[in-house]
Amino acid sequence: SARVSSGPWLSLSSYEKLKTTSGVPLPAGLDPSKREQYLSDDEFVKVMGMDKAAFKAMPGWKQLNKKKEAKLF
C-alpha cells in the first residue's frame, strides 16, 4: 500500500482522510472506488455499522448505498 510521510494525510484519522468530502487527495496507489478497504477493522465497524465480512456478504447495490451513506463513494 502507499505510504505518505507528511502533510495533511497523517494529521487526520483514516476515515476523515478517506471520505470523499475530506478535501485531501488520496495518495497514489489507493483505489478511490475501494476506500472502505483501507479502514481499520474497528473504524470500519464504527463507520459502516457492521464488520467487513458482513459488508462483503451484502449485494453490490447495498454495498454501494452503504458506501455513499458513509461518504466513501
In this predicted structure, the answer to whether residue 9 has a pLDDT above a threshold of 80 is no
CA geometry: angle at 44 spanning 41 and 59, to 5°? 110
In this predicted structure, the answer to whether residue 19 has a pLDDT above a threshold of 50 is yes
| Predicted confidence (pLDDT) per residue in 38-69, tens digit | 898 999 999 999 999 999 999 999 999 999 99
b/e map of 22-54 (b: 16 or more CB within 10 Å)? bebebeeebeeeebbebbeeebbeebbeeeeee
d(CA 52, CA 37): 8
Q: Report DSSP state, residue 13.
A: -
In this predicted structure, the answer to whether residue 32 has a pLDDT above a threshold of 60 is yes
In this predicted structure, the answer to whether residue 29 has a pLDDT above a threshold of 80 is yes
